[in-house]
Structure 1
């Protein structure tokens, strides 16, 4: 590496991390302001402004050519802009939904919003990483912030238990992750993703090191995206964490982690050698997630198992090992982020048990659609989209991950995916049924009263409406997004990229 013009190169590369830089800078300003004016009401709006500015910047760079920056440690161009856009918009929605929720819990701390900002910085780095060190730094920056946010309500035993489980199992998974990186580096002599694919594995020992390292590396990634059988932390953590923050960790972190996995599979492991591993994990994840969700009485826990199942659907697209599969996975991540951030947002605004919804059952919300029609309507849209019901974005997303798998000869995998999607209709439609077709007189009283429901702010309600409308738009006018994501993996463009 030539460091003669290092400083000039660093300055020239700064626009590549504009969004990351502005989010990190505003997070630092939040901490400074909070130290002088504790829990200042302007702090969350500073985060909203920074995330919105970053999102506008990324929209303007969706058509930028592929490239690298900072000595090939991160990727630039349309792929990076698309993933950054998902993460930034998810963080923006989370702050808007969290503000009334945390105020009601008296946990509206300035540090919470700063942690959201720095978790977002980690996700932005993870989603555009071009070498293993960048992947690790992004992953751990994100994870440490999420560990703290999970245990935000320290007086609640469920929150503390969730945070402890998340931290211990996350640290254990990081060990696998790092050991896998070490073995891959030992086999190839490089940490840069494209260089790994070009390294010659001339001996059986080097091949064993590389593929063994890749296996351990995937274990760490499967943990982060809640893929079975590395999912055991997900239901407990999602159930015990503050509800809007649960939506954040189930969407933004998953989008960033899957983006990094796509980059590794596309650049470091070309040729689809990992197809069968991904297909097997996809089957286990889809089946376990959907079957376990059937019996859940708590909506947050049901959505946790649903999140596991949707990780399996994304893996179906990755198992295809084709540009169309990767492109479809990106579209699915966008739609999934909108669906889940909306679903958890609704549940946050319907939470009355004062325990982060941990003990609140679905039946306790019988008839809520008539009492809160806007929340009931948006929740219905989110549930139908999660099923994959046309003409919503969820239907297009599932088609785009299933179709490439059929073309790759994985018809059996798609059949299982379709059957599991049909199975999921039971527990998603059950939410709609309870909200709109069941009367409170039909269920056993659980201490719920209309006065116990929190008051939603216009910003929170507006966020849910925007998410619902976005799903309708993506389900009808999806062509432009598909063309954009497909261009990221165009053979000519990728051949000229570093």
Structure 2
């Protein structure tokens, strides 16, 4: 009788995903037996699972290992991004504590969905095969579709979920079609094999099938990063989704899209580098300009931060366009910084908000500086960082990105980036003007700090300031992470 040899499978590269998936499934089971008033314990268990996952991720630093025929690779690049995803998930869970009770949506499914979305993001970061990246993207997207429409009693949340589902599916079609064309031109979906095929068959770079495949993949990822002109879904979805989910979507999934985008373009399409950097130059300028100009006229604070998020994707694209180690390391540093400063800002919005998010306009922050001075000061730290004012992490991140662009010869791109960053100061300062120089129509007596949000704000403020004052260690780690 012939014996069947089962090949040894190295699960180390996907051990963080396995741990987090098991925790998420366990939470779904526990949720059935936990009464509604005790759903908060599921958040605590989620945080414990994220800590365990982070420990598994960190153990892979400096020890790159591949598995499944090279389809998955846990290297420093993946480790750095996975830690960003874990931070974004943990912060989102912390600020959900008060919100879900206030909005009466304290359903236990919230936490497993955030964890499953994080699993999808981690697969995108470590995927070395287009199909693995697509699998991770779908796990992430399906979870986010549900999370965006999680508040079933809110028409805006329902609209956000539906719009995100329709436009997300539409953009996924572009991405999948681009992957199919690339496979047709090269005969492989593995990023390394595609690069090897192009190196041995340079004439494929002029193959229309290959070029169109690359362009469609770029379009698909542009949707996911909310780059203009593929940003149309962002403001409505960010405004309608529950605020903690908006915070989560603005940080983790955006970083995951950049992780996969960078890996695919730099590794698989190096021969077309001149073409796609020209394309990214245009996307960066459009994204920064559109995001900042439209943000200037927004009264709703979540829509303002949505367009701000689009502009920040443009800043990251500046580093991507530079396409040098400094530029890619700058993106890693900026995504980490942006996670803390943006989710921190949303944490303050959660505290200020009323049931139904009825007071979500900039004008509703009038007098906050007099009534809640500490909360107003904390929000100012995050707004200054988002505007790129020293000594904050946002300033260091932008400086690094624009310096990388100058080093690669994109001087005008850096100048446009600086001008856009200067323009953004207006709508961030507008919030501060209302907080400190406009008379208060509210006493903000409903604002109550929970331990979870206090921890979140403390972490976000500390990280934003520490990375702005002493960024050296994290920058060095980011530089080590981009050695593909």
What per-residue deviation string (whole Å, max 9, x for no partner) do you get for residues 235-294 of structure 1?
A: 000001111110001100011110111111221122533110001000000000000000
Following superposition, the deviation at residue 342 of structure 1 comes to: 0.7
1:6, 1:224 → 2: CA distance?
38
1:168, 1:142 → 2: CA distance?
15
2:7, 2:281 → 1: CA distance?
45
**TM-score, scaled to structure 1:** 0.92
Aligned to 1:355: 356
1:33, 1:47 → 2: CA distance?
12
- The alpha-carbon distance between structure 1 residues 110 and 282, as it changes in their structure 2 partners (threshold 3 A), is same
1:230, 1:185 → 2: CA distance?
25
Match of 1:390, SS state, is coil
Aligned to 1:59: 58
2:5, 2:399 → 1: CA distance?
48
Per mean C-alpha deviation after superposition, the further-off stretch among 460-469 and 37-46 is: 37-46
Per mean C-alpha deviation after superposition, the further-off stretch among 480-489 and 31-40 is: 31-40
Match of 1:153, SS state, is coil
What's the Cα RMSD here?
Answer: 1.7
1:93, 1:7 → 2: CA distance?
40
1:6, 1:484 → 2: CA distance?
38
Aligned to 2:464: 471
1:230, 1:280 → 2: CA distance?
13
1:266, 1:415 → 2: CA distance?
25
Equivalent residue in structure 2 for 1:340, among 319, 324, 342: 342
Match of 1:355, SS state, is helix
What per-residue deviation string (whole Å, max 9, x for no partner) do you get for residues 176-204 of structure 1?
A: 11100000000111111121112144656
Aligned to 1:146: 144
Match of 2:11, SS state, is helix
What per-residue deviation string (whole Å, max 9, x for no partner) do you get for residues 202-257 of structure 1?
A: 65697211110111111111111110000000000000111111000110001111
Aligned to 1:46: 45
Aligned to 1:306: 308
**TM-score, scaled to structure 2:** 0.95
Pairing 1:397-408 to 2, within 5 Å after superposition: 397-408=397-408
Aligned to 1:368: 368
Aligned to 2:170: 172
Pairing 1:121-136 to 2, within 5 Å after superposition: 121-136=119-134
1:98, 1:22 → 2: CA distance?
22
- Alignment: residue pair count: 475
Following superposition, the deviation at residue 152 of structure 1 comes to: 1.1
Instruction: Indicate yes or no: 2:138 matched with 1:137.
Output: no
What per-residue deviation string (whole Å, max 9, x for no partner) do you get for residues 437-492 of structure 1?
A: 3221xxxx5xx5534x34220121121121111111111211111111112234xx
- The alpha-carbon distance between structure 1 residues 189 and 159, as it changes in their structure 2 partners (threshold 3 A), is same
- The alpha-carbon distance between structure 1 residues 19 and 369, as it changes in their structure 2 partners (threshold 3 A), is farther
2:270, 2:203 → 1: CA distance?
19
Following superposition, the deviation at residue 361 of structure 1 comes to: 1.3
Match of 1:199, SS state, is helix
Following superposition, the deviation at residue 311 of structure 1 comes to: 0.2
Aligned to 1:190: 188
1:132, 1:47 → 2: CA distance?
29
Q: Are 1:241 and 1:356, in contact at CA under 8 Å, matched by a contact in 2? A: no
Following superposition, the deviation at residue 77 of structure 1 comes to: 2.2
Match of 1:455, SS state, is coil
2:314, 2:245 → 1: CA distance?
22
Following superposition, the deviation at residue 38 of structure 1 comes to: 4.3
Instruction: Indicate yes or no: 2:437 matched with 1:437.
Output: yes
Following superposition, the deviation at residue 163 of structure 1 comes to: 1.1
Aligned to 1:90: 88
2:205, 2:376 → 1: CA distance?
59
Following superposition, the deviation at residue 326 of structure 1 comes to: 0.8
What per-residue deviation string (whole Å, max 9, x for no partner) do you get for residues 407-441 of structure 1?
A: 1111011110000000000001111221223221x
Equivalent residue in structure 1 for 2:157, among 156, 159, 184: 159
Following superposition, the deviation at residue 160 of structure 1 comes to: 1.1
Instruction: Indicate yes or no: 2:30 matched with 1:33.
Output: yes
Q: Are 2:57 and 2:82, in contact at CA under 8 Å, matched by a contact in 1? A: yes
Q: Are 1:282 and 1:313, in contact at CA under 8 Å, matched by a contact in 2? A: yes
Q: Are 1:20 and 1:121, in contact at CA under 8 Å, matched by a contact in 2? A: yes
What per-residue deviation string (whole Å, max 9, x for no partner) do you get for residues 111-146 of structure 1?
A: 111111111111111121111001101111101111
Instruction: Indicate yes or no: 2:444 matched with 1:450.
Output: yes
Q: Are 1:366 and 1:436, in contact at CA under 8 Å, matched by a contact in 2? A: yes
Aligned to 1:414: 414
Aligned to 2:77: 79
Match of 1:107, SS state, is coil
Q: Are 1:122 and 1:139, in contact at CA under 8 Å, matched by a contact in 2? A: yes
